Amino acid sequence: MTKGTFPVESFKGLETPFYYYDVNLLKETLSIVKEITHKYGYIQHYAVKANANHRILQTIATAGFGADCVSGNEVKAAINAGFPASKVVFAGVGKTDKEINLALDYNIFCFNVESLPELEVMNELAEKKGKTASVAIRINPNVDAHTHEYITTGLNENKFGFSISFLPKVFEKIKTLKNIELIGIHFHIGSQITELDTFSELCEKLNDIQAICDKEGINIQHINLGGGLGIDYDDPNANPIPDFKGYYELINQKVSLRKGQILHTELGRSIVAQCGSLISRVTYVKEGESKKFVILDAGMTDLIRPALYQAYHKIENISSNLPVQQYDVVGPICESSDCFAKDYDLNETKRADFVALRSAGAYGEIMASQYNCRELPKAYLSDSL
């Protein structure tokens, strides 16, 4: 397998670990998504939780995307980075009064609502401000995303959204709430979904739900299919840009929109994952009894996905072209789960070599913690090195 290209010379003056983002790849990804969604007349939001680095957000806002937020601070971060409030949606099962008030003050486009008590609270808070909150109902379509259980969100026993059988009741309730306007329905069934069949199933459920809305005499203007498109963690060099074409073609084929309806998607991972790598220096190469360990200066505090979801990130020694050897690649944190890979083929590795953990642009930097009193990793964009 080929390795990625990195400006290793420019890395030499930098303290590790840090995230490195390839801006050209990000921009190319954005322009491909824009071109396809423009063709179909769909609106694209970016799910801020995947990566809220200010410059990354600015780049995505400049490309004309909307923002999908799951906390009040994400709403703030998106707007500070240049996303217009009129393109911001706010989802999440546990929005606090403070967060709802903040989003009402910004006049965001839409709240994705996940429970009846939330609707009531939102109605009260909007009434106090003399405003109307535009909402989309998050529906749990009971589609299995066939992904890791921690990132499946669309099954009935899940904490997210309303079950389909609740819909008539929710519509009735909304009619009684004077400061709530129903403008859409929303879905999000999971993340790192690589089988397009799964989205196909979601589209079919959507068509069933449209029929329920018709029957109830409810006119839905906005349909938000959520995010979840997966990426190729195994071979990022062969597949740096996910199959957006197949994904949107499928939606276009399967979904029957009513007159005037607008379709939205809110992709996170597939937009930013491949443009980011976690760059680390090798602190030690340690010989065990039967194994060799590469000990990095990056650990689970910098990139938690392997420890949290047993996720795989391709690892490359970008300083060495020596013949391959097998190593366990581990971090310095005092936890056994602080291990990036076992029995992994790396070019022969020495102390101070640079090692890249690939496909780390999504759910990487943003999930970093300071456990063990570590510093948060820094971040550099390729155009500012």
Ligand X SMILES: *Cc1c(COP(=O)(O)O)cnc(C)c1O
Pick 57 or 333: Cβ nearer ligand X? 57
Question: Is 228 labeled as ligand-binding?
Answer: yes
Pick 269 or 313: Cβ nearer ligand X? 269
Amino acid, res. 16:
T
The minimum distance between CB 117 and ligand X, in angstroms, equals 19
Amino acid, res. 174:
I
Q: Is 14 left (phi over 0), alpha (psi -120 to 50) or beta?
A: beta
Pick 157 or 287: Cβ nearer ligand X? 157
The minimum distance between CB 114 and ligand X, in angstroms, equals 10
334 is catalytic: yes
The minimum distance between CB 316 and ligand X, in angstroms, equals 24
Helix residue ranges, H only, the chain: 8-11, 23-40, 54-62, 72-80, 97-106, 116-128, 167-176, 196-216, 244-254, 269-272, 305-309
Enter the tokens of residue 365: 């930097």
| 91 in contact with ligand X (CB under 6 A) | yes
- What CA dihedral angle connects 205, 170, 47 and 158, to 10 degrees? -70
Enter the tokens of residue 245: 């074409």
Q: Say which residue the tokens 């018709």 belong to.
A: 214
Pick 229 or 368: Cβ nearer ligand X? 229
Enter the tokens of residue 383: 């155009």
Binding pattern to ligand X, positions 178-217, x when CB under 6 A?
----------x--x--------------------------
The minimum distance between CB 151 and ligand X, in angstroms, equals 7
The minimum distance between CB 363 and ligand X, in angstroms, equals 7
Q: Which residues partner with 229 through β-bridges?
A: 193
| 268 in contact with ligand X (CB under 6 A) | yes
Binding pattern to ligand X, positions 313-352, x when CB under 6 A?
----------------------------------------
| 95 in contact with ligand X (CB under 6 A) | no
Q: What is the DSSP string of 39-91?
A: HHT-EEEEEGGG---HHHHHHHHHTT-EEEESSHHHHHHHHHTT--GGGEEE-
| 113 in contact with ligand X (CB under 6 A) | no
Of 124, 89, 127, 95, the C-alpha closest to 110 is 89
- Rg of the chain taking only CA atoms, in angstroms: 22
| Among 4, 66, 227, 236, interactor with ligand X by CB under 6 A | 227
Handedness of CA 372, 48, 199, 210 (dihedral sign): positive
| Among 30, 77, 213, 267, interactor with ligand X by CB under 6 A | 267
Name the active-site residue from 69, 213, 275, 334.
Answer: 334
Q: Say which residue the tokens 């991972």 belong to.
A: 269
Residues annotated in a binding site for substrate: 269, 305, 309, 335, 363
The site for ligand X (CB under 6 A) is made up of 47, 49-50, 68, 70, 91, 188, 191, 226-229, 266-270, 362
